[in-house]
Amino acid sequence: MVALIAASLRATLNGASQILLQTHPGCGLLVLVAIGLQDRALLAGALVGLLAGTGFAWFCSYPRRDIETGLYGYNATLLGLLITLVLDGAPLAWPLILVASMLCVPLQRRLLERMRRQDRLPGFTLPFVLLGWLTLGLCGVLGGLIEARLPESEIGGWGALGGMLRGIGQVLFLSAPAAGLCLLVALCWADRNAALWALCGSAIGIYAALLSGAAESQALAGLAGYNPALAAVALSQVHRSALFPALGIALAIAARLAFEQLGIAPLTMPFILTCWAVAFGLRLARQHARRTNPGIPPSLSR
Protein backbone atom coordinates (compact mmCIF):
# COMPACT_ATOMS: atom_id res chain seq x y z
CA MET A 1 0.00 0.00 0.00
CA VAL A 2 2.82 2.39 0.94
CA ALA A 3 4.64 1.55 -2.30
CA LEU A 4 1.50 2.29 -4.34
CA ILE A 5 1.01 5.65 -2.64
CA ALA A 6 4.68 6.52 -3.23
CA ALA A 7 4.42 5.52 -6.91
CA SER A 8 1.24 7.57 -7.35
CA LEU A 9 2.80 10.63 -5.71
CA ARG A 10 5.92 10.26 -7.84
CA ALA A 11 3.82 9.95 -11.01
CA THR A 12 1.80 13.04 -10.07
CA LEU A 13 4.81 15.25 -9.34
CA ASN A 14 6.71 14.01 -12.37
CA GLY A 15 3.65 14.77 -14.48
CA ALA A 16 3.90 18.40 -13.40
CA SER A 17 7.66 18.51 -13.97
CA GLN A 18 7.31 17.11 -17.50
CA ILE A 19 5.71 20.40 -18.53
CA LEU A 20 9.23 21.77 -18.22
CA LEU A 21 10.66 18.64 -19.91
CA GLN A 22 12.03 17.27 -16.64
CA THR A 23 11.53 14.08 -14.65
CA HIS A 24 12.05 15.43 -11.15
CA PRO A 25 9.47 15.30 -8.31
CA GLY A 26 10.94 18.35 -6.60
CA CYS A 27 10.67 20.32 -9.82
CA GLY A 28 7.06 19.15 -10.17
CA LEU A 29 6.24 20.32 -6.65
CA LEU A 30 7.59 23.80 -7.41
CA VAL A 31 5.60 23.87 -10.66
CA LEU A 32 2.43 23.36 -8.62
CA VAL A 33 3.57 26.01 -6.14
CA ALA A 34 4.11 28.44 -9.03
CA ILE A 35 0.57 27.85 -10.29
CA GLY A 36 -0.77 28.43 -6.78
CA LEU A 37 1.17 31.70 -6.54
CA GLN A 38 -0.67 32.92 -9.63
CA ASP A 39 -4.21 31.74 -8.94
CA ARG A 40 -5.76 29.06 -6.72
CA ALA A 41 -8.49 28.40 -9.29
CA LEU A 42 -5.81 27.66 -11.87
CA LEU A 43 -4.13 25.30 -9.40
CA ALA A 44 -7.42 23.48 -8.89
CA GLY A 45 -7.88 23.08 -12.65
CA ALA A 46 -4.30 21.90 -13.07
CA LEU A 47 -4.65 19.32 -10.30
CA VAL A 48 -7.94 17.99 -11.69
CA GLY A 49 -6.32 17.53 -15.09
CA LEU A 50 -3.12 16.08 -13.68
CA LEU A 51 -4.90 13.57 -11.45
CA ALA A 52 -7.46 12.64 -14.11
CA GLY A 53 -4.82 12.01 -16.78
CA THR A 54 -2.48 10.10 -14.50
CA GLY A 55 -5.32 8.15 -12.88
CA PHE A 56 -6.82 7.17 -16.23
CA ALA A 57 -3.42 5.88 -17.38
CA TRP A 58 -3.27 3.68 -14.25
CA PHE A 59 -6.83 2.51 -14.97
CA CYS A 60 -5.85 1.58 -18.55
CA SER A 61 -2.87 -0.41 -17.23
CA TYR A 62 -0.39 1.45 -19.41
CA PRO A 63 3.33 0.77 -18.74
CA ARG A 64 4.10 1.67 -15.16
CA ARG A 65 7.42 3.28 -16.02
CA ASP A 66 5.75 5.72 -18.42
CA ILE A 67 3.15 6.63 -15.82
CA GLU A 68 5.67 7.12 -13.02
CA THR A 69 7.88 9.33 -15.17
CA GLY A 70 4.87 11.61 -15.70
CA LEU A 71 4.31 11.03 -19.42
CA TYR A 72 0.54 10.89 -18.97
CA GLY A 73 0.24 13.87 -16.66
CA TYR A 74 1.68 16.93 -18.35
CA ASN A 75 -0.69 17.24 -21.31
CA ALA A 76 -3.67 16.81 -18.99
CA THR A 77 -2.28 19.45 -16.61
CA LEU A 78 -1.92 21.97 -19.42
CA LEU A 79 -5.47 21.24 -20.57
CA GLY A 80 -6.72 21.79 -17.03
CA LEU A 81 -4.99 25.17 -16.95
CA LEU A 82 -6.26 26.22 -20.37
CA ILE A 83 -9.87 25.22 -19.78
CA THR A 84 -9.92 26.89 -16.36
CA LEU A 85 -8.52 30.07 -17.87
CA VAL A 86 -10.90 30.13 -20.83
CA LEU A 87 -14.08 29.25 -18.93
CA ASP A 88 -13.10 31.37 -15.91
CA GLY A 89 -14.39 28.98 -13.26
CA ALA A 90 -17.72 28.18 -14.94
CA PRO A 91 -19.31 24.91 -13.69
CA LEU A 92 -18.87 23.40 -17.16
CA ALA A 93 -15.08 23.66 -16.77
CA TRP A 94 -14.70 20.71 -14.40
CA PRO A 95 -16.40 17.97 -16.47
CA LEU A 96 -14.70 19.37 -19.58
CA ILE A 97 -11.29 19.11 -17.90
CA LEU A 98 -12.03 15.50 -16.91
CA VAL A 99 -13.11 14.52 -20.42
CA ALA A 100 -10.24 16.34 -22.16
CA SER A 101 -7.66 14.94 -19.75
CA MET A 102 -8.83 11.38 -20.29
CA LEU A 103 -9.00 11.84 -24.07
CA CYS A 104 -5.38 12.94 -24.23
CA VAL A 105 -4.19 9.74 -22.50
CA PRO A 106 -4.84 7.24 -25.36
CA LEU A 107 -3.55 9.82 -27.84
CA GLN A 108 -0.33 10.12 -25.86
CA ARG A 109 -0.09 6.33 -25.71
CA ARG A 110 -0.38 6.13 -29.49
CA LEU A 111 2.31 8.78 -29.98
CA LEU A 112 4.69 6.99 -27.61
CA GLU A 113 4.15 3.68 -29.40
CA ARG A 114 4.77 5.20 -32.83
CA MET A 115 7.93 6.92 -31.60
CA ARG A 116 9.38 3.73 -30.11
CA ARG A 117 8.28 1.14 -32.67
CA GLN A 118 8.48 3.14 -35.88
CA ASP A 119 11.24 5.62 -35.00
CA ARG A 120 8.83 8.54 -35.39
CA LEU A 121 9.36 11.99 -33.94
CA PRO A 122 8.26 12.54 -30.31
CA GLY A 123 4.82 14.02 -29.75
CA PHE A 124 5.81 16.39 -26.94
CA THR A 125 2.69 18.46 -26.09
CA LEU A 126 0.79 17.57 -29.29
CA PRO A 127 -2.21 16.04 -27.42
CA PHE A 128 -2.56 19.29 -25.46
CA VAL A 129 -2.33 21.41 -28.61
CA LEU A 130 -4.89 19.40 -30.59
CA LEU A 131 -7.41 19.15 -27.75
CA GLY A 132 -6.63 22.74 -26.74
CA TRP A 133 -7.46 24.00 -30.22
CA LEU A 134 -10.67 21.97 -30.14
CA THR A 135 -11.57 23.50 -26.78
CA LEU A 136 -10.80 27.03 -27.97
CA GLY A 137 -12.78 26.44 -31.15
CA LEU A 138 -15.78 25.26 -29.16
CA CYS A 139 -15.46 28.34 -26.97
CA GLY A 140 -15.22 30.56 -30.05
CA VAL A 141 -11.82 32.04 -29.24
CA LEU A 142 -9.50 30.05 -31.49
CA GLY A 143 -8.15 33.17 -33.11
CA GLY A 144 -7.26 35.03 -29.93
CA LEU A 145 -6.28 33.07 -26.89
CA ILE A 146 -6.53 35.16 -23.77
CA GLU A 147 -4.34 38.18 -24.25
CA ALA A 148 -2.46 37.41 -21.07
CA ARG A 149 -3.03 40.04 -18.42
CA LEU A 150 -0.73 42.71 -19.80
CA PRO A 151 1.73 44.02 -17.22
CA GLU A 152 2.04 47.66 -16.32
CA SER A 153 5.81 47.79 -16.77
CA GLU A 154 8.46 49.41 -18.92
CA ILE A 155 11.61 48.16 -20.63
CA GLY A 156 14.76 48.37 -18.53
CA GLY A 157 15.81 47.14 -15.11
CA TRP A 158 13.23 45.08 -13.27
CA GLY A 159 10.71 45.57 -16.08
CA ALA A 160 12.87 43.61 -18.52
CA LEU A 161 13.65 40.93 -15.92
CA GLY A 162 9.96 40.64 -15.12
CA GLY A 163 9.23 40.16 -18.81
CA MET A 164 11.80 37.36 -19.03
CA LEU A 165 10.27 35.63 -16.01
CA ARG A 166 6.79 36.02 -17.50
CA GLY A 167 8.09 34.37 -20.67
CA ILE A 168 8.94 31.29 -18.64
CA GLY A 169 5.68 31.51 -16.68
CA GLN A 170 3.58 31.62 -19.85
CA VAL A 171 4.55 28.00 -20.51
CA LEU A 172 1.78 27.40 -17.98
CA PHE A 173 -0.30 30.52 -18.76
CA LEU A 174 1.19 32.29 -15.72
CA SER A 175 1.72 36.03 -16.03
CA ALA A 176 3.02 36.83 -12.52
CA PRO A 177 6.82 37.32 -12.38
CA ALA A 178 6.88 35.51 -9.01
CA ALA A 179 5.36 32.45 -10.66
CA GLY A 180 7.94 32.63 -13.45
CA LEU A 181 10.73 32.92 -10.89
CA CYS A 182 9.39 29.85 -9.09
CA LEU A 183 9.44 27.92 -12.38
CA LEU A 184 13.01 29.07 -13.04
CA VAL A 185 14.03 27.80 -9.59
CA ALA A 186 12.24 24.51 -10.36
CA LEU A 187 14.28 24.17 -13.56
CA CYS A 188 17.49 25.03 -11.69
CA TRP A 189 16.74 22.28 -9.19
CA ALA A 190 16.35 19.72 -11.98
CA ASP A 191 18.87 21.01 -14.55
CA ARG A 192 20.81 24.28 -14.24
CA ASN A 193 21.81 24.23 -17.90
CA ALA A 194 18.13 23.92 -18.92
CA ALA A 195 17.24 26.85 -16.65
CA LEU A 196 19.89 29.02 -18.30
CA TRP A 197 18.62 28.17 -21.77
CA ALA A 198 15.01 28.81 -20.72
CA LEU A 199 15.98 32.30 -19.58
CA CYS A 200 17.90 32.92 -22.82
CA GLY A 201 15.00 31.69 -24.94
CA SER A 202 12.51 33.88 -23.12
CA ALA A 203 14.75 36.96 -23.34
CA ILE A 204 15.47 36.56 -27.05
CA GLY A 205 11.82 35.85 -27.83
CA ILE A 206 10.73 39.03 -26.07
CA TYR A 207 13.46 41.08 -27.76
CA ALA A 208 12.39 39.69 -31.14
CA ALA A 209 8.80 40.71 -30.39
CA LEU A 210 9.95 44.26 -29.72
CA LEU A 211 11.94 44.30 -32.96
CA SER A 212 8.86 43.11 -34.86
CA GLY A 213 6.93 46.15 -33.64
CA ALA A 214 5.04 44.77 -30.64
CA ALA A 215 4.14 47.25 -27.90
CA GLU A 216 6.32 47.08 -24.80
CA SER A 217 3.40 45.96 -22.64
CA GLN A 218 2.59 43.12 -25.03
CA ALA A 219 6.20 41.98 -25.33
CA LEU A 220 6.71 42.06 -21.57
CA ALA A 221 3.61 39.93 -21.05
CA GLY A 222 5.84 36.99 -22.02
CA LEU A 223 3.69 35.46 -24.77
CA ALA A 224 6.60 35.73 -27.20
CA GLY A 225 9.01 34.05 -24.80
CA TYR A 226 7.60 30.69 -23.80
CA ASN A 227 7.96 28.78 -27.07
CA PRO A 228 11.63 29.80 -27.59
CA ALA A 229 12.26 28.93 -23.93
CA LEU A 230 10.75 25.45 -24.32
CA ALA A 231 12.59 24.80 -27.59
CA ALA A 232 15.90 25.84 -26.05
CA VAL A 233 15.37 23.58 -23.02
CA ALA A 234 14.39 20.58 -25.16
CA LEU A 235 17.29 20.88 -27.59
CA SER A 236 19.87 21.65 -24.88
CA GLN A 237 19.03 18.32 -23.26
CA VAL A 238 19.62 16.35 -26.46
CA HIS A 239 22.55 18.18 -28.06
CA ARG A 240 25.76 19.27 -26.37
CA SER A 241 26.47 22.04 -28.87
CA ALA A 242 24.98 25.45 -28.12
CA LEU A 243 24.20 25.74 -31.83
CA PHE A 244 21.08 23.60 -31.58
CA PRO A 245 19.31 25.45 -28.71
CA ALA A 246 20.18 28.73 -30.43
CA LEU A 247 18.74 27.44 -33.70
CA GLY A 248 15.67 26.25 -31.81
CA ILE A 249 15.10 29.72 -30.36
CA ALA A 250 15.24 31.29 -33.83
CA LEU A 251 12.91 28.70 -35.39
CA ALA A 252 10.40 28.96 -32.52
CA ILE A 253 10.26 32.74 -32.93
CA ALA A 254 9.66 32.38 -36.67
CA ALA A 255 6.97 29.74 -36.13
CA ARG A 256 5.16 31.92 -33.60
CA LEU A 257 5.15 34.86 -36.01
CA ALA A 258 3.66 32.56 -38.66
CA PHE A 259 0.85 31.53 -36.32
CA GLU A 260 0.21 35.19 -35.55
CA GLN A 261 -0.17 35.91 -39.25
CA LEU A 262 -2.60 33.01 -39.57
CA GLY A 263 -4.62 34.26 -36.61
CA ILE A 264 -4.37 30.95 -34.77
CA ALA A 265 -3.53 30.57 -31.09
CA PRO A 266 -0.04 29.03 -31.15
CA LEU A 267 -0.16 27.34 -27.75
CA THR A 268 3.02 25.20 -27.77
CA MET A 269 2.89 24.24 -31.46
CA PRO A 270 5.88 26.47 -32.44
CA PHE A 271 7.98 24.57 -29.89
CA ILE A 272 6.84 21.22 -31.30
CA LEU A 273 7.43 22.22 -34.93
CA THR A 274 10.88 23.55 -34.03
CA CYS A 275 11.99 20.30 -32.38
CA TRP A 276 10.56 18.29 -35.27
CA ALA A 277 12.37 20.47 -37.82
CA VAL A 278 15.73 20.10 -36.05
CA ALA A 279 15.31 16.33 -35.60
CA PHE A 280 14.20 15.86 -39.21
CA GLY A 281 17.07 17.99 -40.51
CA LEU A 282 19.60 15.94 -38.53
CA ARG A 283 18.04 12.72 -39.79
CA LEU A 284 18.40 13.88 -43.39
CA ALA A 285 22.00 14.94 -42.75
CA ARG A 286 22.85 11.50 -41.35
CA GLN A 287 21.24 9.75 -44.29
CA HIS A 288 23.23 11.93 -46.68
CA ALA A 289 26.44 11.18 -44.77
CA ARG A 290 25.80 7.44 -45.01
CA ARG A 291 25.08 7.69 -48.75
CA THR A 292 28.20 9.70 -49.53
CA ASN A 293 30.41 7.69 -47.13
CA PRO A 294 29.03 4.12 -47.18
CA GLY A 295 32.03 2.79 -45.30
CA ILE A 296 31.22 4.86 -42.21
CA PRO A 297 29.20 2.99 -39.55
CA PRO A 298 25.80 4.62 -38.76
CA SER A 299 26.93 5.42 -35.23
CA LEU A 300 29.76 7.60 -36.58
CA SER A 301 27.46 9.65 -38.79
CA ARG A 302 25.44 10.89 -35.82
* SS3 category, 45: helix
265/129 Cα distance (integer angstroms): 10
- pTM to 2 decimal places: 0.92
Indicate the DSSP class of residue 239.
-
Q: How far apart are the first and last CA of the chain?
A: 45
Assign 137 a pLDDT band (cuts: 50, 70, 90): confident
pLDDT digits 0-9 by tens, 281-301 = 988 888 877 778 765 554 433
Q: Categorize the per-residue pLDDT at 146 as very low, low, confident or very high, splitting at 50, 70 and 90.
A: very low
Per-residue pLDDT of 247-274, as tens digits, reads 999 999 999 999 989 988 999 999 999 9
Question: Residue 153 pLDDT more than 70?
Answer: no
Closest CA to 79 of 51, 55, 60, 59: 51
Neighbours of 255 (CB within 10 A): 21
What is the rounded distance in angstroms from the CA atom of residue 68 to the CA atom of residue 172? 21
CA dihedral for 271, 272, 274, 275, sign (positive or negative):
positive
Give the separation between CA 301 and CA 288, rounded to whole angstroms: 9
